[in-house]
A and B are shown apart, each in its own frame.
Chain A
């Protein structure tokens, strides 16, 4: 416990921790101090001058956002003098601010509007002409109205400190200062965090531009469906249409604060997209067309076909494939369907790689994103979190920049995070396993260093850094590790031994929103992997029941064999390469239309809530599975309630024991699943395996020397993200349009090969 000091605010004496910021202490104790530029997670600015307070023995009024409390400080936050100063400040801020609240998208949730309600005058005394600048676009995602800016510089600080991009900056001087970009066009990761923190309507979401007013939207707190970080966001919906996704403090307070990446913030239009599958579809004849059908027909048809196949070929003729994109409830229903209705162990999930070796040997807790932010040493083996897990990337960046953490990166690609790294170790492609071998002990340094293409001394340095760490040490690893290496890394905390003052934490970097959940439910540690299961097609396997779509790497080259199957049932949102093979397609509900839970890469089980009723005839995945089970005379007893499914999960899955929906209600206190910690295991076998694997490795030392382009993964138009028209534009290189006054969407067309062509505005 830090030292306590006494501070007097408005005559009341409060005890507070030494080093606390005055504005926080005032607000904590209910003394409202207004401010625009203060943002607790960012560097100090003190440019809005709204948080003025009188401190005894200090000349003039002081900005409370820059003052650190000292013992015996006597502070006044409310007096005639202070109010006069604050009212004058608001008047100055409004001197150049246009009165266009009716057209402004921020109107109704604008901090300036709220401040003017409290501190503004009734009349405007400035009669001079206001600075005028036309509204324009900074990028396909960010719209900008420069005259609404009050120069709090939250956007520039966020861009620099959170994203490390410095894409947006203030230029000019005095009354002519404007927030702008280099070259007049925003070439960044388009996270939109500048939009989120803007207290006025200066920076606006271009995808939600002029769509609705905030008070018309029903905000629903839910979990993002894109990467494995599980950011909490709030979906704004109106009459069955999701209009926007925000993480603003006033709507949601999750693990990510106000942070979201481009996908979380802008990739929601797929939910109400016109290409969503509307009704169940049946392909009655091999090679025929998918014909719309009613739910009763589709379920009945599927059940009859399944029954026939079961009678002819037995239970093991079925394969059931869940998805790391679905809720835990949906995956659990599939598992239950496989075991209880079909009676087979042929189930798996269509994830890119399995985390089973990590969780089986887990010897340290999983690091939450907060742990990463305050870690002392961070080791990143492979992966590219700033593109694939943006929140983890941001936390690592802040841990280094604001927390002084030591970041060591092992990667074959010079990823962007290397700017923050104390040590970037450029290794040969495909040799990530050797890193684990080197971290586990010094015996194999010669071999590891040789294959990695680095000096043995470098590896010794990293081990010494691990030894000397005081505080948290987070080990992050990407998809590149082999199963044995993943197991060894998970055991590393045991291998290195416990020491006072040092805590090891693990943080896997899977690709999908519920990769960890799919593992926890038990789909990933099944007897067969997806590839093995699909390879049985045409031999033992006669029917497949797939939720979601198969990954391209699993599907490619297997289309012909899969076409020979008797029955393929697919639950999907859109028509994909997988539904092209299907005999029956069920329209599934997206994450915005269903209740459930996702488990993120920190093991936190977070709620997914229904924001809009399912579009068209879609149904939540677990309901489809339950309906199919009931057509096969098996009652799951879920009775249309996702919470009943989750209760059953909690009863059957040890890591989720005792969890219930009410316990997961508060998004600001996420609940971590209790993954069992394995004690020290004998890893010599695994290490031997890695050693053999490395020895036989034929290393080419052609390492990419160029840092990959921003957004090479983030902007990739996938099944869901391509439904936002801006994504193909960004992936085509985000070209600057002829005029920035009109959205680039109207000026540039992108063809199927993602080549951009400029067309005249207005065409």
Chain B
């Protein structure tokens, strides 16, 4: 083989490759410029859990341990306690509340069984997905991290509307 044919073959390959590249330039861009732009998540997205409160600000959780029982990776740890005060003063909606409610995100597989098991709709999956930490111990989230009144929501996501077609922009590819 001569050096000339080598050059021709290489040039052909470059033109073919760059052709693919240039053909995308006029097309619509689908790269999400995270974290400069928020990520669109589906309404049913399973992010970091949220512990909810009722309209009076009382925790909905009654520490029934069903989430912990349903959890396949055994990542929920609860200590229940008795709250003998009157319903208005209570921490939770009922006499029993979770004194400690920990989720170990080093173990959690985001399966959503805890949410399904909850008889009081006290735990749901939120949308926070930025769970990376520098220290493994920080993966253990306590009630201060999980309560809806305390959990800081990331500015880096937006939830899609129910009728919004979130998936299709990926499907085209």
Interface residues of A, Cβ cutoff 8 Å to B: 100-103, 107, 135, 209-213, 215-216, 742-743, 746, 762
Q: How distant is B67 from chain A, measured CB to nearest CB, in Å?
A: 11
Q: Is the CB of B120 within 8 A of A102?
A: yes
Q: Is the CB of B65 within 8 A of A213?
A: yes
Q: Is the CB of A210 within 8 A of B68?
A: no
Stretch at the interface among B19-27, B78-86, B106-114, B162-170: B78-86
Ordered nearest first, which 3 A-B pairs have the shortest CB separation? Answer: A102-B64, A210-B96, A210-B82
Residues of A within 8 A of B69 (CB): 213, 215-216
Return the chain A residue nearest B85 by Cβ: A762
Residues of B within 8 A of A216 (CB): 65, 68-69
Residues of A within 8 A of B81 (CB): 210-211
Return the chain B residue nearest A99 by Cβ: B119
Q: How distant is A324 from chain B, measured CB to nearest CB, in Å?
A: 36
Residues of A within 8 A of B140 (CB): none
Q: How distant is B63 from chain A, measured CB to nearest CB, in Å?
A: 7
Residues of B within 8 A of A211 (CB): 80-82
Which residues of B (83-141) have their CB < 8 Å from a CB of A?
83-86, 94-96, 119-120
Beyond A210-B63, A210-B96, 8 extra complex contacts between A and B, CB < 8 Å: A100-B94, A102-B120, A103-B95, A103-B96, A210-B80, A210-B83, A213-B69, A762-B85
What 1/0 flags go to B60-73 for Cβ under 8 Å of A? 00111110110000
Q: How far is the CA of A212 from the CA of B85 in the complex (A)?
A: 19
Q: How distant is B87 from chain A, measured CB to nearest CB, in Å?
A: 10
Q: Is the CB of B65 within 8 A of A103?
A: no
CB within 8 A of B64: which of A103, A742, A762? Answer: A103
Q: Is the CB of B84 within 8 A of A742?
A: yes
Q: How far is the CA of A653 from the CA of B93 in the complex (A)?
A: 60
Q: List 18 A-B contacts (CB under 8 A).
A: A102-B119, A103-B95, A135-B95, A209-B82, A210-B80, A210-B81, A210-B82, A210-B95, A211-B81, A211-B82, A212-B80, A213-B64, A213-B65, A213-B69, A215-B65, A746-B84, A762-B85, A762-B86
Residues of A within 8 A of B120 (CB): 102
Q: Is the CB of A102 within 8 A of B66?
A: yes
Q: How distant is B61 from chain A, measured CB to nearest CB, in Å?
A: 9
Residues of B within 8 A of A762 (CB): 85-86
Counting chain B CB atoms within 10 Å of each CB, the highest count among A100, A211, A213, A762 belongs to A213
Q: How far is the CA of A3 from the CA of B106 in the complex (A)?
A: 67
Q: Is the interface of A mostly helix, strand, loop or mixed?
A: loop
Which residues of B (49-69) have their CB < 8 Å from a CB of A?
62-66, 68-69
Q: How far is the CA of A211 from the CA of B80 in the complex (A)?
A: 5
Q: How distant is A239 from chain B, measured CB to nearest CB, in Å?
A: 9
Residues of A within 8 A of B85 (CB): 762
Residues of A within 8 A of B65 (CB): 212-213, 215-216
Q: Is the CB of B82 within 8 A of A103?
A: no
- Known A-B contacts A135-B95, A210-B96, A216-B68; the reply to A102 vs B84 at CB < 8 A is no
Residues of B within 8 A of A212 (CB): 65, 80
Q: How far is the CA of A213 from the CA of B68 in the complex (A)?
A: 11
Counting chain A CB atoms within 10 Å of each CB, the highest count among B84, B95, B96 belongs to B84
Q: Is the interface of B mostly helix, strand, loop or mixed?
A: loop
Q: Is the CB of A103 within 8 A of B62?
A: yes
Return the chain A residue nearest B93 by Cβ: A103
Return the chain B residue nearest A743 by Cβ: B84
Q: How distant is B104 from chain A, measured CB to nearest CB, in Å?
A: 14
Q: How far is the CA of A210 from the CA of B84 in the complex (A)?
A: 10
Q: Is the CB of B82 within 8 A of A107?
A: no
Q: How far is the CA of A100 from the CA of B119 in the complex (A)?
A: 10
- Known A-B contacts A213-B65, A216-B65; the reply to A103 vs B84 at CB < 8 A is no
Which residues of B (30-54) have their CB < 8 Å from a CB of A?
none
Q: How distant is B75 from chain A, measured CB to nearest CB, in Å?
A: 15
Q: Is the CB of A107 within 8 A of B96?
A: no
Return the chain B residue nearest A107 by Cβ: B64
Residues of B within 8 A of A742 (CB): 84
Q: How distant is A464 from chain B, measured CB to nearest CB, in Å?
A: 58
Residues of B within 8 A of A101 (CB): 64, 119
Residues of B within 8 A of A135 (CB): 95
Q: How distant is A748 from chain B, measured CB to nearest CB, in Å?
A: 13
Return the chain A residue nearest B82 by Cβ: A210
Q: How distant is A218 from chain B, measured CB to nearest CB, in Å?
A: 14
Residues of A within 8 A of B95 (CB): 103, 135, 210
Q: How far is the CA of A103 from the CA of B66 in the complex (A)?
A: 11
CB within 8 A of B62: which of A102, A215, A743? Answer: A102
Q: Is the CB of B68 within 8 A of A103?
A: no
Residues of A within 8 A of B84 (CB): 742-743, 746
Q: How far is the CA of A107 from the CA of B65 in the complex (A)?
A: 10
Return the chain A residue nearest B92 by Cβ: A103
Q: How far is the CA of A746 from the CA of B63 in the complex (A)?
A: 22
Counting chain B CB atoms within 10 Å of each CB, the highest count among A100, A101, A210, A215 belongs to A210
Q: How far is the CA of A210 from the CA of B85 in the complex (A)?
A: 14
Return the chain A residue nearest B68 by Cβ: A216
Q: How distant is B30 from chain A, measured CB to nearest CB, in Å?
A: 45
Q: How far is the CA of A103 from the CA of B62 in the complex (A)?
A: 6
Return the chain B residue nearest A216 by Cβ: B65
Residues of B within 8 A of A107 (CB): 64
Return the chain B residue nearest A745 by Cβ: B84
Residues of A within 8 A of B86 (CB): 762
Counting chain A CB atoms within 10 Å of each CB, the highest count among B65, B119, B120 belongs to B65
Q: How far is the CA of A599 from the CA of B96 in the complex (A)?
A: 40
Residues of A within 8 A of B96 (CB): 103, 210
Residues of B within 8 A of A210 (CB): 63, 80-83, 95-96
Q: How far is the CA of A135 from the CA of B95 in the complex (A)?
A: 10
Q: How far is the CA of A216 from the CA of B86 in the complex (A)?
A: 28
Q: How far is the CA of A215 from the CA of B80 in the complex (A)?
A: 14
Residues of B within 8 A of A215 (CB): 65, 69
Residues of B within 8 A of A746 (CB): 84
Q: How far is the CA of A211 from the CA of B5 in the complex (A)?
A: 83
Q: How distant is A438 from chain B, measured CB to nearest CB, in Å?
A: 56
Residues of B within 8 A of A213 (CB): 64-65, 69, 80
Return the chain B residue nearest A747 by Cβ: B84
Return the chain B residue nearest A214 by Cβ: B65
Q: How distant is B111 from chain A, measured CB to nearest CB, in Å?
A: 20
Q: How far is the CA of A746 from the CA of B119 in the complex (A)?
A: 30
Q: How far is the CA of A216 from the CA of B69 in the complex (A)?
A: 8
Return the chain B residue nearest A215 by Cβ: B69
Q: How far is the CA of A293 from the CA of B16 in the complex (A)?
A: 80
Q: How distant is B94 from chain A, measured CB to nearest CB, in Å?
A: 5
Return the chain B residue nearest A241 by Cβ: B79
Residues of A within 8 A of B66 (CB): 102
Q: How far is the CA of A216 from the CA of B98 in the complex (A)?
A: 14
Q: How far is the CA of A675 from the CA of B68 in the complex (A)?
A: 51
Return the chain A residue nearest B81 by Cβ: A210
Q: How distant is B162 from chain A, measured CB to nearest CB, in Å?
A: 30
Q: How distant is B47 from chain A, measured CB to nearest CB, in Å?
A: 25
Q: How far is the CA of A742 from the CA of B82 in the complex (A)?
A: 11
Residues of B within 8 A of A209 (CB): 82
Residues of A within 8 A of B62 (CB): 102-103
Q: How far is the CA of A665 from the CA of B74 in the complex (A)?
A: 31
Q: How far is the CA of A746 from the CA of B94 in the complex (A)?
A: 18
Return the chain A residue nearest B86 by Cβ: A762
Return the chain A residue nearest B63 by Cβ: A210
Q: How distant is A97 from chain B, measured CB to nearest CB, in Å?
A: 15
Residues of B within 8 A of A102 (CB): 62, 64, 66, 119-120
Residues of A within 8 A of B94 (CB): 100, 103
Q: How distant is A216 from chain B, measured CB to nearest CB, in Å?
A: 6
Q: How far is the CA of A33 from the CA of B81 in the complex (A)?
A: 37
Q: How distant is B124 from chain A, measured CB to nearest CB, in Å?
A: 16
Q: How far is the CA of A101 from the CA of B65 in the complex (A)?
A: 11
Return the chain B residue nearest A208 by Cβ: B82
Q: How distant is B115 from chain A, measured CB to nearest CB, in Å?
A: 15
Q: How distant is B65 from chain A, measured CB to nearest CB, in Å?
A: 4
Return the chain B residue nearest A137 by Cβ: B84
Q: How far is the CA of A100 from the CA of B86 in the complex (A)?
A: 18
Return the chain B residue nearest A238 by Cβ: B79
Return the chain A residue nearest B61 by Cβ: A102
Return the chain A residue nearest B119 by Cβ: A102
